[in-house]
Chains A and B, each alone.
Chain A
Amino acid sequence: MIGTNRRRRGFLAVTAIALMLAGCTTTVRKHPEFAQRRAKIANVAVLPPDVEVVRVVFKGDNQLLNEEAARIRSRLPDLIAAAMRKQGFTVKEAGLDEQHFAEKPDLRFQTTQLQDAFARADQQMFKVVQMSKSEAENYKTTLGTDVITIADHADVDALVVAKMNGFKKSGGEIAKDVAITVLIAVATLGNAVATQPTKGASLQVALVDGTTGDILWANTAGTAGDFEDSGLGAMVEQVFKGFPK
């Protein structure tokens, strides 16, 4: 039984890797009119990213790590802006900070709404992360025309939205994982050793048409390790590897 399952899993893993290597699947989502619309986009603004970092605890009432999230929230826009400049865009300030919120109170809510719309679109877009290239290159989804207000405020042709979710396990949770690993090893007489990450994150970034709200391009990357220091830059780099030339 164990042997059969191992062979089956091995076959599936090899097939998936072969498909990826053959370039049949991708994590990138691209609007069918990307090229035409991209040609009309000169400047973009990076929205404040939606970042959540959670400490997974043994008791189950996981805790939000607000300070870690705030640090990432302040670093991520610069990393994304640098990556967008490399792609030939002019990056302008989004003007979505406390000073602007004080002047235009509704901007605060509109920013939240846009992040919320991206979170919903993101769930659909990456429900299956690896998608066939033919499907992924004709991917149509929209954040709605409320994008217009923010694009108008920032005076840009398009917006870049980003979302990141990270987790860190508590000592108790890590101990549980270690116990499972040890017990699996004991139960299988050392034939199976399962290791589980103690921290990790996923990042999604999208380029959104400022007049229609359509997502023109989106990609996702993840890490099963550091996501705060060099790991954050590496994830951004990974995401933009998929940006169409």
Chain B
Amino acid sequence: MGTIARAFVAVATLASCATTKVAPLTDSASGYAAEEDESALIRQAEEYEQKLRAQGLIYEDPELQQYLDGVCRKLVPQAAADRVQFHFAVVREPTINAFSLPQGGIYLHAGLLARLENEAQLAHVVGHEITHTVKRHQLTFVRSLQNKTVAAKVAQMVLVPAAVAFGGGVGGNLVSSVLGLTYVAAVTGYGRENEEEADAEGLKLAAASGYRVQEAPRLFAVLNEVEDPGALQTFFYSDHPANQTRARYTQALLDSGTISIPAQGVTNGEAYQNATRGVAQENIHLRLQKGHYQYALAEAEAGLARRGDDAWLHYYAGEAHRQIAADPEGAAREQVMRHRKEADKALIESLKQRAGEERAAARAAYLRALELDPTLALAHRGIGLVAYQQGDKQTTRDELQAYLRGTQKVTDKRYIEKILAEVAQ
């Protein structure tokens, strides 16, 4: 073992040599040229973005794009903009997240845009993501990941045979998994320093653009209100300190006097809400597609609290109620995910018992949508499907036929005609 151990130390030491200290893009003293591994990362990022587009995952809305470009471009430091072409896109994904890639792509999930309250909060998130690219955090992160992976694999080469020899096959597996966990913990631990740096620099960028930086701690409070462990823990700033800690951290930064705070910082709440109205509705649709019925309902109701006369929001509320009634198992799975508890039959049973109330709520919401906009034929579809669930053939027929006669594009004609044929019997 002595020789192997010495070899392990030597190889692990050599393997950990790749430098994680790189100059930021804004460093005028150092001439910027992407290093070999960084060029590979940039190529991968370009391929990734192409894939997002090929899969239809980039949300296309020219007006929103114009608004985002206007807000986000002014946050990019000029020296960095000269070296990397920054661009901004919305990803059709309802989880709350934003991320940046080294080729200059900054990606905002629809779920994040639907949740933020104003432009100042958006500026902080985007400033944070821009900082990751300006500081070349992607490169340093990958290098440290490689260093750790190589060290872990060298350790695996030594420890697995040793465990097989001394502890048998089961022991071997245990050593592998313990080593894996340590490795994962070490890798995720690397994020914290970078994230704090991005928060601090992001604040400075937002402040320099005249935004009300006091919105930064508020941003984390807003995100903390979402009972969405899947999004918050797995996606949004997944290797970041907890949102509460970050709220305290950003507040401390503001209190420290190290950031020059604009006297009359802007929030632009109304402009933000107007610009993101479409993507917020798209997000409700995405939630429903993913079986997040209760989130969809909560988002529709939040929208209705601001704009009670929005026919589409009433329609989406109806869709959420209808799908909770139609899919109690799915609704139970969502509750389990939201509240991180074990699935149980009692929960499914209680949701099944509430199906009648959900259908009534769905019908009321669809009717309200039609009151507000009689051309919203999808609401007829909803009423027809509720009636179909209830076994009311006449209403099913009348409403689904009204849907097919409507002026909106029908993408499920075959399915609707099948139901009509069934209820005609």
Query: Which residues of A approach B to under 8 Å, CB–CB?
Result: 1-2, 4-6, 9, 58-61, 63-64, 66, 101, 105-113, 117, 142, 144-146, 148-149, 151-153, 155, 176, 179-180, 183-184, 186-188, 192, 194, 210-211
Contact = CB atoms under 8 A, between A and B. Distances in A.
B157 A176 contact: yes
B55 A108 contact: yes
B413 interface: yes
A1 B167 CA distance: 7
B36 to A, nearest CB: 13
A183 B161 contact: yes
Interface string B99-132: 0000000000000000000000000000000000
A113 B289 contact: yes
A2 B168 contact: yes
B55 A1 contact: no
B372 interface: no
A155 B289 contact: no
B291 A148 contact: no
A96 to B, nearest CB: 11
Contact of A151 (B44, B145, B330, B415): B415
A152 B168 contact: no
A1 to B, nearest CB: 6
**Chain B: interface residue count, which band?**
35 or more
B57 interface: yes
Nearest to B4: A183
Given A148-B415, A151-B414, A180-B156, A187 B161 contact: yes
A contacts with B: majority SS: helix
A146 B291 CA distance: 11
Nearest to A155: B414
Interface string B315-349: 00000000000010010000000000000000000
B168 A144 contact: no
B146 A59 contact: yes
Shortest 6 CB-CB contacts between residues of A and residues of B = A60-B149, A109-B56, A5-B168, A108-B56, A187-B165, A183-B161
23 contacts: A5-B171, A6-B169, A60-B148, A61-B145, A64-B47, A105-B56, A106-B56, A108-B54, A109-B56, A112-B57, A113-B289, A117-B290, A142-B327, A146-B289, A148-B414, A151-B414, A152-B412, A152-B415, A180-B161, A183-B160, A184-B164, A187-B165, A192-B169
A219 to B, nearest CB: 23
A150 to B, nearest CB: 9
B415 A1 contact: no
B47 A66 contact: yes
B92 interface: yes
A9 B161 contact: no
Contacts of A180: 156-157, 160-161
Contact of B150 (A9, A59, A151, A152): A59
B154 to A, nearest CB: 8
A89 to B, nearest CB: 17
Contacts of A144: 289, 291
Contact of A186 (B56, B161, B291): B161
